[in-house]
Amino acid sequence: VSEERNREAVKHLWAVFDAFEFARAAEVLSPDFVCEWPQSRERIRGAADYIALNEGYPGRWRCRLHRLLVDGDRAASLVEVTDGSTTVWASSFYELRDGCIERAVEYWSTPFEPRPGREQWVERF
């Protein structure tokens, strides 16, 4: 039951981000939620600041949840984020309690060109 609540919480987070209804993220974020982005060594403390930051990001981005795993009080998601021209992928690792997200560590991935010299092992799609 707890795992199902955790699963629904992460689904809700990305659904409201996709809908651009950022304030509703507070329904599943702990007030003292903390998010970390190791790539830029940035940390956002508090659901309010996390929501404000996301609201303030320029552009209209759609979020499509491709994968969601729940393992006890931890979850991982893979979300494709696109504004129609640029696509990035968010890999997020969550810690939850009773369906409430307390912590996230997020990694952002952008398109890249295949490294030359490995064509013999690779096909393109």
Minimum CB–partner distance for residue 50 and a copy of itself (Å): 8
1 Cβ neighbours under 8 A, 6+ residues apart: none
Tell me the site size for a copy of itself, rule CB under 8 A. 42
Six-digit token string for 75:
């979850």
Contact segment (CB under 8 A) with a copy of itself among 11-19, 20-28, 96-104, 114-122 equals 114-122
Q: Which of 47, 75, 81, 96 binds a copy of itself (CB under 8 A)?
A: 75
Cα–Cα distance between 93 and 111 in angstroms, integer?
21
Closest CA to 77 of 125, 7, 124: 7
Among 84, 85, 113, 116, binds a copy of itself (CB under 8 A): 113
Does 102 interact with a copy of itself (rule: CB under 8 A)?
no
Q: 78 - beta bridge partners?
A: 67, 91
**Shortest Å, Cβ 75 to a copy of itself:** 7
